[in-house]
Amino acid sequence: MLDFFSIFSKGGIVLWCYTFQGVKASFTEPINALIKTVLLQERGGTSHFTHGALQMQYKLDNEFELIFVVGYQKVLTLLYVDKLITDVHRDFRDRYRQKLLDGSLSWITLNFSYDNQFSILRSNAEVKESKKVTTMRTFDKSEKSKKTIKSMTIDKNKDAKDAEIKKKTNSPKPEKVVSVVKANVEAPAVQPSVPQPNNTLDPDVIARNREALAKRAAASKAKGKKAAPKKTGKSARVWQNGGNAKDAESLDRSGNTNKDALTNGHSHDDNVTAEQKNWVNTSSKIQDLEIDEEEILEDEEEYEDEDVEEDVEEQANTKKSSGGIFSMFRGLVGSKALTKEALQPVLNSMRDHLIGKNVAADIAEKMCDSVANKLEGKMVGTFSTIASTVKQSLNDSLVLILTPKRRVDILRDVLEAQRAGKPYVITFCGVNGVGKSTNLAKICFWLMENGFRVMIAACDTFRAGAVEQLRTHKTRLHTLHPPSMHGGRDGVNLFEKGYGKDAAGIAMQAINAAREQRYDVVLVDTAGRMQDNEPLMRSLAKLITVNSPDLVLFVGEALVGNEAVDQLVKFNQALADYSNAENPRSIDGIVLTKFDTIDDKVGAAISMTYTTGQPIVFVGTGQSYPDLRRLNAKAVVHALLK
């Protein structure tokens, strides 16, 4: 059973909404979630969206900027929803096409109703779907129930006989051969031989049969098909009665010098008798009948070869003439609605281009599908090409994806936490070797440059040398920012408890110490772990659940493509599965390292942002502390599409 069906414009005007009987829930929140999460974020690669227990299916009309949405409980399997939303879309467009073309929605009033027509379409869709459902037949109606024990008994002798009979029946019969040219010499009639007693034939009959057979063979050999002449290449075709300058003398009938005249000494056609004309016509007919079949086939092949050559030459000339100044108009759309068939070649090329720029394959596929759904049916200008239209739409989509839907302003949040009398806690997580500790030190330097006091919690109790690495960073940062710059207090401090301890307990102690010593920020360093390592993922989920950090940052490499998607998905899934909290935390932002080593292969940024929907907070561009940048979405998209 459906819950609701709604039609609204992309501008937010609801044209019509239908709520089914017995449904009292409000669907404002699910539809708003669909608009914010899918439509505004350019994630329309699929036509389904789930919000809680509600499953929604939508269809875009890009020509009239309309959205058709149907909602139902996701536990139900309603197979007719696809047909229903397609039928409603087509019917609504056709019924109100002229009004929609005007662009004004003033005709949508409180008295506007589409309920009756919708009920008819829904009934038709349900009836057609119910007809497809077939019930399983009972055992009594099956063929197996009619078999008896006797019918299932195997008789080897009977099977062998049946196989022999079937083999004889299926043996191929000789085909009859029909000759094209009839033989002029007929074999003499042979009287049927009469069998003699004891199944013997008379010797005279045998001799006559042999003689007739020999004559028939000789006649067929004499009148048989001629051997196919060898092909000597193409020669100029000579048309009948065509002639040229050399044939002028033989065709000249003005004088008495025509040697080929049909009459003896007569030069004009008037002197040719009717008998002679009749003889000429008869001779020509006889010659026509004696044309061999193979010669006819050769002529047909020659005609076909000449036609193919002419077509190839014509195409070459057309291709040659289409170059130059007119080549700039190639591929123009010409003020018509775009179709999926027209978009598919360009989208396939664009998908391969994105994969070549390090975008994950499934993400590139979803983005191209989203662009196809966004452009299908859309009217474009006369001087717009399909490639330029697709590229511009993809450019807009990528910018929206990289633009964070919520701004992560760490400095503002630190000031708010400072006014609340508590430290601002940031937890770093990621796989091995991506540069978590180095980028933690860069962010620490950035915070100290802005006048905040930072405590580093060494919670990587698994990797050898992790604590010593943070101690080295602390010493260097302390040198760059001595206590005099922070009112006589240390600008950075390291909280460590050695190796082999519980990381969640060390983080809790560091936060409490930072609160007592009035540090502004706590940066929690965690051990690198692969996304499939269950014990370490449980430890990370425990650390985040127990300490409730203000920001969880995932540190990833810009060098990876498909692996980035797998890492992010499994990290988020592990945080949700291994957390005991009612509302488990997930990754809040991304730090993209080694961004200076990839040139224009910036696809990992798209893959990570598209997977989580979370923004890229920082990108690492070098080895020194100041090499930390904010992400420029337009610059990344420009490098991705060039």
Domain map of the chain by residue range? 2-131, 340-402, 410-641
Query: Rounded distance, CA 338 to CA 336, Å?
Result: 6
User: Please, how many CA atoms are within 13 Å of residue 31, restricted to the half-sphere of its CB?
Assistant: 21
Beta strands in 10-53 (DSSP E): 14-19, 48-51
Could you tell me which of 560, 642, 604 has the C-alpha nearest to residue 359?
Answer: 604
Q: Look at 62-76, 112-126, 289-303, 366-380 and tell me which has the smallest mean pLDDT.
A: 289-303
Rg for the chain (alpha carbons), in Å?
44
- pLDDT classification of 219: cutoffs 50, 70, 90: confident
pLDDT exceeding 70 applies to what percent of the chain?
Answer: 70
Average confidence (pLDDT) over 391-415: 85
Two structure tokens written together for 372: 């196809």
pLDDT value of position 342:
84
Q: Look at 5-9, 213-217, 259-263, 472-476 and tell me which has the smallest mean pLDDT.
A: 259-263
CA 564-545-417 angle, to 5 degrees, is 95
Q: What would the pLDDT profile of 172-189 be if each residue is shown by its tens digit? A: 544 444 443 344 434 444
Residue 193 has pLDDT above 80, yes or no: no
Alpha carbon of residue 445 to chain centroid: 46
Residue 29 has pLDDT above 60, yes or no: yes
Two structure tokens written together for 346: 């360009």
Q: What would the 3-class secondary structure string for 212-259 be?
A: HHHHHHHHHHHCCCCCCCCCCCCCCCCCCCCCCHHHHHHHCCCCCCCC
Whole-prediction pTM:
0.60
Query: Rounded distance, CA 32 to CA 401, Å?
Result: 18
Residues in a beta bridge with 590: 554, 616
Query: Rounded distance, CA 563 to CA 597, Å?
Result: 17
DSSP string across 144-184: GGG--TTTT---HHHHHHHHHHHHHHTSPPPPPPPPSSPPS
Residues in a beta bridge with 554: 429, 590
Query: Rounded distance, CA 18 to CA 113, Å?
Result: 10
137/342: higher pLDDT: 342
pLDDT value of position 472:
94
Alpha carbon of residue 562 to chain centroid: 17
- Terminal C-alpha separation, the chain: 49
> Who contacts 485 (Cβ-Cβ below 8 Å, separation ≥6)?
491
DSSP string across 494-560: EE---SSS-HHHHHHHHHHHHHHTT-SEEEEE-----TT-HHHHHHHHHHHHHH--SEEEEEEETT-
Contacts of 176-180 with C-beta under 8 Å, sequence gap 24+, read: 180/293
CATH fold of the domain at 2-131 = Beta-Lactamase (3.30.450)
Query: Rounded distance, CA 72 to CA 85, Å?
Result: 13
Average pLDDT of the residues of the chain:
77
- pLDDT classification of 475: cutoffs 50, 70, 90: very high
Helix (H), strand (E) counts: the chain: 20, 13
Alpha carbon of residue 632 to chain centroid: 29
Two structure tokens written together for 162: 């049946």
Residue 391: is it exposed, middle or buried by C-beta count within 10 angstroms (0-12/13-18/19+)? middle
Inter-axis angle of helices 603-612 and 340-356, nearest 10? 110
Q: Is 439 within 8 Å of 620 (Cβ atoms)? A: yes
pLDDT value of position 326:
37
Q: Any idea of the CA torsion for 155, 156, 162, 166, to the nearest 10 degrees?
A: 140
Query: Rounded distance, CA 100 to CA 427, Å?
Result: 52
Q: What would the pLDDT profile of 246-278 be if each residue is shown by its tens digit? A: 666 666 666 554 444 444 444 444 444 555 545
Residue 46 has pLDDT above 90, yes or no: no
Strands 616-620 and 628-629: antiparallel
User: Could you give phi then psi for residue 119, rounded to 5 degrees?
Assistant: -65, -40
pLDDT value of position 412:
93
Q: What would the pLDDT profile of 586-629 be if each residue is shown by its tens digit? A: 899 999 998 888 888 888 888 888 888 888 999 999 889 999 99
Whose structure tokens read 């050695």? Answer: 498
Q: Is 81 within 8 Å of 97 (Cβ atoms)? A: no
Question: How long a stretch of residues is the chain?
Answer: 642
Alpha carbon of residue 618 to chain centroid: 32
Q: Is 539 within 8 Å of 579 (Cβ atoms)? A: no
> Who contacts 537 (Cβ-Cβ below 8 Å, separation ≥6)?
529, 531, 570, 571, 574, 578
Query: Rounded distance, CA 262 to CA 268, Å?
Result: 10
Residue 299 has pLDDT above 60, yes or no: no
Residues in a beta bridge with 275: none
pLDDT value of position 398:
87
Two structure tokens written together for 202: 């008379």
CA 9-14-17 angle, to 5 degrees, is 120
- pLDDT classification of 383: cutoffs 50, 70, 90: low
319/565: higher pLDDT: 565
Query: Rounded distance, CA 515 to CA 513, Å?
Result: 5
Inter-axis angle of helices 386-402 and 361-375, nearest 10? 120
Residue 544 has pLDDT above 90, yes or no: yes
Two structure tokens written together for 92: 């609504």
Average confidence (pLDDT) over 439-453: 94
Q: What would the pLDDT profile of 411-437 be if each residue is shown by its tens digit? A: 999 999 999 999 999 999 999 888 899
Whose structure tokens read 């049946």? Answer: 162
As a CATH number, domain 410-641 is 3.40.50.300
pLDDT value of position 152:
64
